[in-house]
Structure 1
């Protein structure tokens, strides 16, 4: 019976150790996820800013010349 109690105690210790390790890993992963979310938000903001700059640059370009009627068809 003492042997069974000792084995049970060892199993409980292993379970507690595993539980602590998983809790630590979970906390680390949560921190990494939070950092990744912040980085993603920053990148999304940079993309939006770049898109706005490209759109502004495109709006400053001269418009292409208007095509004349029938100029895109081949002459007979």
Structure 2
């Protein structure tokens, strides 16, 4: 399992987790921690040939989730 790679995006920390599966394949997930310390784990459906591909897919999923959350949050926050 690889978790040393961390990216900061829109105030969140993204930790992709890559795990070796059967036959030398890889699976991935992303752990996202926001500014308040709330953590969410996002799973990536797939069976990847390389660890870089698995990590990249986990990062893409996390960034998409953060972007959707950011848009929804901004929509419902009153600015005054």
TM-score (norm 2): 0.37
Name whichever structure is richer in strand by fraction.
2
TM-score, length-normalised on structure 1? Answer: 0.39
| Bigger radius of gyration among the two | 1
